Amino acid sequence: MKTKVNALIENLILSTNNDQLAWKETGPTSKRSWHREFIAIGEDGTEYETEIKFLMIGENWQLDTSPHIWVKNGKLPNGRLLLTGASYNVQDFRKTIMDKYCADMNPTTKIVEDILEDITKGVSTSTFRDSRINNLLDDKI
């Protein structure tokens, strides 16, 4: 099985590199700087899905350590098969997708800081406002 799966992954890499297989971005645009989802359809109608994502670990962005590919075809048991980096050579495939479609991915901590500020506001708007006013006044004293 491993030989057949690795041959499939190698064919996905080659077909992507020579533009025989085009990947379409399907994920939400609001997360494009750190998370992208892709789908491609082979000549036989088989669907392939993958994602490229960075995770915030502490205060640093890290590329997800478990890349995967979904292979969807009605002939497969349950109609799909999950190929993971733990069992197969999915890292080379992910690098191909990143090089071709994700060269502009550059998540920054500012993204998370802005989200955290919005979350903080959501706890209590009046407390957040009062705290900001107090901090501004303390800075001027």
| Domain count across the chain | 2
**Quick one: 26 and 10 in the same domain?**
yes
**Quick one: 97 and 123 in the same domain?**
no
**Quick one: 25 and 78 in the same domain?**
yes
**Quick one: 88 and 32 in the same domain?**
yes
Q: What pLDDT digit, counting tens, does each position of 68-100 carry?
A: 999 999 999 999 999 998 888 899 999 999 999
**Quick one: 59 and 7 in the same domain?**
yes
| Model pTM above 0.75 | yes
The tokens describing 61, both together, are: 């962005």
| Whether pLDDT at 141 is above 70 | no
Q: What pLDDT digit, counting tens, does each position of 5-46 carry?
A: 999 999 999 999 999 999 999 988 888 899 999 999 999 999
Contacts made by residues 103-112, CB under 8 angstroms, sequence distance 24+: 105/32, 105/33, 105/34, 105/36, 105/52, 105/54, 106/33, 107/33, 107/34, 107/54, 107/56, 107/61, 108/33, 108/61, 109/56, 109/59, 109/61, 111/33, 111/34, 112/56
**Quick one: 16 and 80 in the same domain?**
yes
- Domain range for residue 8? 2-105
**Quick one: 85 and 116 in the same domain?**
no
| Whether pLDDT at 64 is above 80 | yes
